[in-house]
Amino acid sequence: MRVDAAASGQAHGTTPTVPSAAGAPHDGRTDHDHFREQEERQTDKDLAREAWRRNRPDVSADAGKASILIPLKGSIAGASFRVTNRPHAVIVTLPSAASLITMRVYRVRRDGFRLLWIDQAEKDANPKDGTSLKIGLADLGDPIVEIKDDFVRVTVHRPAPGAPSPEGTPAPKSAPVPERAPAPAKRASADSSAD
């Protein structure tokens, strides 16, 4: 059986396009943008699944930003969050969901995060009982909070190395730099003085 190149979308070097969702309004984005969004969603789901397997939140850093991802089960209906300043933290309230990671406290202490507190039953948490997450932050910038069906992600600006630390955070101690001795004066060599 022979396949016609024009029917398969491969005539004249073109590639077949991914059809848009039926009934979805065209928002000016290309099919490539939709495909990238689907890939990102799958990557996020994979990160959430891996965090669940390890029973630890996923902390990742990239180009001046850091994120913490907490996998969820249940519904995110009615979910909300608020940011507190003393102590600087994000509190996420999930009335119909539960965290898939089970310990109550995780000491993160890296990339702008301090602690993660999970207020739910430590064993066999039921999504109907709801949960509350408190993510302690080290920097004073505004966090970005994403509440999705499978996870909660908090993104902060990553502290720059050598930047002053916020109040209440001990500054990292650096090793003292030894003072340099002055460089010895260059001696004139016998080859350069004899012309």
Is residue 142 one of the residues assigned to a domain?
yes
Question: Is 166 domain-assigned?
Answer: no
In a domain, 168, yes or no: no
Q: Greater confidence, 68 or 12?
A: 68
Is 145 inside a domain boundary? yes
pLDDT at res. 66: 92
**Contacts of 78-82 spanning 24+ positions with Cβ under 8 A:** 79/147, 81/145, 81/147
Residue 150 within a domain = yes
Q: How many domains does the chain have?
A: 1
Q: Categorize the per-residue pLDDT at 47 as very low, low, confident or very high, splitting at 50, 70 and 90.
A: confident
**CA dihedral over 146, 55, 100, 150, signed as positive or negative:** positive
In this structure, is residue 21 part of a structural domain? no
Among the ranges 46-55, 174-183, 185-194, which has the highest mean pLDDT value? Answer: 46-55
Does residue 80 lie in a domain region? Answer: yes
- Look up the domain containing 133 and give its range: 60-159
- 126/157 Cα distance (integer angstroms): 33
Position 20 in a domain = no
